[in-house]
Amino acid sequence: MNNVLRYLFFLLVVRPVVLIVLGLNIRRGQLLPQNGPAIIVANHNSHLDAIVLITLFGMRRLHQVHPVAAADYFLKNPRIAWFSTKIIGILPLERNVAGMRTDPLAGICEGLERNEILILFPEGSRGEPEQMAKLQNGIAHIAKRRPDVPIVPVFLHGLGKALPRGEGILVPFFVDIFVGEQVTWTGNRDEFVASLQTRFEELSQECYRPEWD
């Protein structure tokens, strides 16, 4: 039942809004992974980021694609929790790992075992719109455990203007989606995070971004 609702929500609400109200300009879409297991890493500016990224995989692969999202934020309120997990299809992740006894990345690893395409925001939070923060180390831990899984960086621009943090009104803007070459585990955590950061900087420089302050 929930799967049907999710399908209908994406077909009847999300896709029309994304295609008509926003409009996507996708560069190198052919670099996106065709099948799971795979990880998409993207910069994070808006709640719409995950939703727009899910639509890139079409309706046929919808059941395979899940964004990883903060459990402390999205599971707080039962209604938002139901909507996030059942309709958007998030995979909850515990961000505060200090003193945790269980493996915080277990959920992600299980998802990859199920051949899912996971969407991750290594900045950790949306932060200031259209400004990139330092990447967290979590992605490196996953890359180390599953070096066989492709990690594809995607740079997004425009959604932070369309619906930034703390705003309730969606204002139409075209969205740029620049897909980069996949990154591979380098054997060293800091090196890996640094190479991912460089990849994002290259993608962001390729993108024309008018002043917005």
Is residue 164 near other proteins by the rule CB under 8 A?
A: yes
Is residue 205 near other proteins by the rule CB under 8 A?
A: no
Distance in Å, CB of 160 to other proteins, minimum = 9
Is residue 171 near other proteins by the rule CB under 8 A?
A: yes
Is residue 166 near other proteins by the rule CB under 8 A?
A: no
- Residue 178's DSSP bridge partners are 27, 155
State phi, psi for 17 to the nearest 5 degrees: -65, -45
Q: Which of 12, 19, 113, 174 binds other proteins (CB under 8 A)?
A: 174
Residue from 123, 95, 99 nearest 107 by CA: 95
Residues 86-125: x where in contact with other proteins by CB under 8 A, - otherwise, as a string: ----------------------------------------
Burial 11-39 (b: 16+ CB within 10 A, else e): eeebeebbeeebebeeeeeeebbeebbbb
3-state helix/strand/coil string of 36-76: CCEEEEECCCCCHHHHHHHHCCCCCCHHHEEEEEEHHHHCC
Residues 140-159: x where in contact with other proteins by CB under 8 A, - otherwise, as a string: ------------------x-
Residues 41-60: x where in contact with other proteins by CB under 8 A, - otherwise, as a string: --------------------
Residue 151 carries which DSSP code? E
Residue from 5, 145, 21 nearest 88 by CA: 5
Structure tokens at 125: 């939070």
> What is the rounded CA–CA span in Å between residue 23 and residue 175?
6
Q: Which of 67, 107, 122, 129 binds other proteins (CB under 8 A)?
A: 129
Residues 18-37: x where in contact with other proteins by CB under 8 A, - otherwise, as a string: -----x-x------------
Q: Which positions lie near other proteins, rule CB under 8 A?
A: 23, 25, 129, 158, 161, 164, 167, 169, 171-174, 208, 210-213
